[in-house]
Amino acid sequence: MLQPPPAEPGMMEEEVDTPALLLDLDAFEANLDAMAALLAPTGAKLRAHAKTHKSAVIARLQLARGAIGQCVQKVGEAEALAWGGVPDILVSNQVVGAAKLARLAALSGIAQVAVCADDAGQVAEIAAAAEAAGVRLPVLVEIDCGASRCGVEPGPAAVALAERIAASPHLRFGGLQSYHGSAQHKRSPGEREAAIAHAAEVTRRTVEQLRQRGLDCPVVGGGGTGTFALEAASGVYTEIQAGSYAFMDADYARNDVPPPFRQSLFVLATVMSRAVPGVAVVDAGHKAVAVDSGLPLVHGRPGLRFASASDEHGKLLVEDGAAPALGEKLRLVPGHCDPTVDRYDWYVGVRKGRVECLWPIAARGLMA
Ligand code: PLP
Ligand code: MN
């Protein structure tokens, strides 16, 4: 059920009801500008990942600052963006099952939609859905460039799958998907460089082998917030798929040499108990803020440490002299931005302490 917004434009931040998802608009806009400036001198364009923000509003702001489209992970996300006016969407993922594929093919009527595949049987299923809908779907071959999650082997296996796609009258070979997920949070820059050097090299060789078989590779997609500068500089990747850069989180900030973006996303929480000495409890437990990549940090309050999260309680340890007042509102920096966003219906956009806008998170919680 869609919850009513926790605030109204013009309110002060302290008046926002909690727990709420705050977006610091100055920091957010600075992040969009920083990414545009960093990619401008490279050959790569931004196809920002909507798995992070799940919102057509944010997608359109990214497009207005030069992004060429959006990535999504799920058909439900693609629907939310297409219905919200986003014209160019890549499902950077495998979509399996006739019902989902029929929905995806139907979307082709209102937006340019592409999808990934790493299996010949799957290519046949996508072709059947495209034929039934009377559309021609672009399909990218996903290669395993080092993370061992999805993707066929780079080289001949990828070329064989691309040839199958190209041979179908209902499909078009769209290029290669080459995303190295586990490289994003490798702590040292050297480890990230080594992982992406390998990914770029196997991808480059695959593009070359495609060319030898007469197949042009119009798109090579990959790169996240931790490594995008490496993919962009490689000369191999044409599209960068970073998502978290717009918001950032405590886990990305723990990388040695963290990504060059500001924290713009916060969970606003209220101090609801001060009964135990040395402890303050806020109304944001792990139902309000994701803890899969570590506990949140208390923003701007060095004497307060978020020590544990239960369903509805966040327990803070308080250093001498740092105690917050009962009812005080605190900004928490989520450990992981994507699943935190998924818990909320609304972004509360704030600028200089005042609520400016409320944006719906249309694709939140979509399981399909
Ligand atoms: N591309 C793909 C295929 C992904 O799965 C992800 C995240 O998991 C990203 C890009 C974006 O990563 P990040 O939010 O770390 O920038
Ligand atoms: Mn993430």
The two three-digit tokens of residue 188, written as one number = 């040292």
Q: Which ligand approaches the C-alpha of residue 231 most closely? A: 1
Residues 6+ apart with CB under 8 A from 246: 28, 31, 32, 35, 48, 52, 53, 58, 62, 261, 264
> What would the mean pLDDT of 87-100 be, rounded to a whole number?
98
pTM: 0.97
Chain mean pLDDT for the chain: 97
Rounded distance from Cα 263 to ligand 2 centre (Å): 14
Is beta strand 171-177 parallel, antiparallel or unpaired with respect to 137-142? parallel
How many Å apart are CA 115 and CA 173, to the nearest integer? Answer: 10
User: What are the tens digits of pLDDT across the range 208-217?
Assistant: 999 999 999 9
Q: Are 262 and 345 in contact (CB under 8 A)?
A: no
Residues contacting ligand 1 via CB (< 6 Å): 49, 51-52, 71, 92, 179, 181, 184, 224-225, 241-245
160 CA to middle of ligand 2, Å? 31
Task: Kindly state the average pLDDT of the residues 349-360.
Answer: 98
* Chain segment 95-132, per-residue pLDDT in tens: 999 999 999 999 999 999 999 999 999 999 999 999 99
Q: Would you call 294 helix, strand, or coil by DSSP? A: coil
Reply yes or no on whether the pLDDT at 63 is more than 90.
Answer: yes
The model's confidence at residue 67, banded by pLDDT at 50, 70 and 90, is very high
| Residue 20 banded pLDDT, cuts 50, 70, 90 | very high
Q: Whose CA is nearest to atom 1 of ligand 1?
A: 241
Q: What's the confidence (pLDDT) of residue 343?
A: 97
The rounded Å distance from CA 153 to ligand 2 centre is: 24
Mean pLDDT of 155-181: 98
User: pLDDT digit string (tens) for 331-340?
Assistant: 999 999 999 9
Which ligand approaches the C-alpha of residue 185 most closely? 1
The ligand minimizing its distance to the Cα of 337 is: 2
Q: Taking the CA of residue 70 as centre, how many other CA atoms within 13 Å lie in the half-sphere pointing to its CB?
A: 31
Distances (CA, A) of 1 to 57, 180, 200, 257, 344: 20, 35, 44, 41, 11
As a whole number of angstroms, the distance between CA 266 and CA 358 comes to: 14
Q: Ligand 1: distance of its center to the CA of 259 in Å?
A: 14
**Of the bound ligands, which one is closest to the alpha carbon of residue 225?**
1
For residues 116 and 140, the answer to whether their CB atoms sit within 8 Å is yes
Residue pair 128/160 in contact by the 8 Å Cβ criterion: no
pLDDT at 65 over 90: yes
Q: What is the number of the ligand 1 atom nearest to the C-alpha of 185? A: 15
196: helix, strand or coil: helix
Expressed in percent and rounded to 5, the helix, strand and coil fractions of the chain are 35, 25, 40
Q: What percent of the chain has pLDDT over 70?
A: 100
Going by CA atoms, what residue is nearest to atom 5 of ligand 1?
Answer: 181
Say if CB 22 and CB 268 are below 8 A apart.
yes
Residue 181's pLDDT is 97
Work out the average pLDDT over 169-192.
97
Mean pLDDT of 290-299: 98
Between CA 282 and CA 20 the distance in angstroms is 12
Q: According to the model, what pLDDT value does residue 2 have?
A: 79
Which one of 94, 184, 338 would you pick to mutate in the ligand 1 pocket, going by the greatest count of ligand atoms within 8 A of its CB? 184
| Per-residue pLDDT reduced to its tens digit, 50-62 | 999 999 999 999 9
Share of the chain above pLDDT 90, in %: 98
pLDDT at 240: 98
Per-residue model confidence as pLDDT tens digits over 230-279: 999 999 999 999 999 999 999 999 999 999 999 999 999 999 999 999 99
In this prediction, residue 368 has a pLDDT band, given cuts at 50, 70 and 90, of: confident
Using most ligand atoms within 8 A of CB, pick from 32, 49, 237 the residue to mutate for ligand 1: 49
Distance 130 CA to ligand 2 centre (A): 31
Q: What is the chain's alpha carbon radius of gyration, rounded to the nearest angstrom?
A: 22
Average pLDDT over residues 312-320: 98
Q: What is the dihedral of CA 76, 80, 86, 89, to 10 degrees?
A: -10
Nearest atom of ligand 1 to the alpha carbon of 222: 1
Instruction: Please tell me the distance between residue 209's alpha carbon and the centre of ligand 1 in angstroms.
Output: 26
Q: Collapsing DSSP states into helix, strand and coil, what is residue 185? A: coil
Identify the residue whose C-alpha is closest to ligand 1 atom 9.
Answer: 224
User: Rounded to the nearest whole angstrom, what is the distance from the C-alpha of residue 217 to the centroid of ligand 2?
Assistant: 28
In angstroms, the CA 338 to CA 265 distance is 10
What is the residue-wise DSSP string for 69-111?
EEEESSHHHHHHHHHTT--EEEEEEE--SHHHHHHHHHHTTTS
Q: Kind and range of the H or E element at 305? A: strand 304-309
pLDDT at 328 > cutoff 90: yes
CB 313 within 8 A of CB 362: no
Query: For a substitution probing ligand 1, which of 31, 47, 51 has the most ligand atoms within 8 Å of its CB?
Result: 51
- CA 94 to ligand 2 centroid distance, Å: 18
Average pLDDT over residues 147-163: 97
What separation in Å is there between the alpha carbon of 100 and the centre of ligand 2? 23
Q: Look at residue 367 and tell me whether its pLDDT is greater than 90.
A: no
Which ligand lies nearest to the CA atom of residue 181 in the structure? 1
Closest residue by Cα to atom 6, ligand 1, is 224
Per-residue pLDDT band for 366 (boundaries 50, 70, 90) equals confident
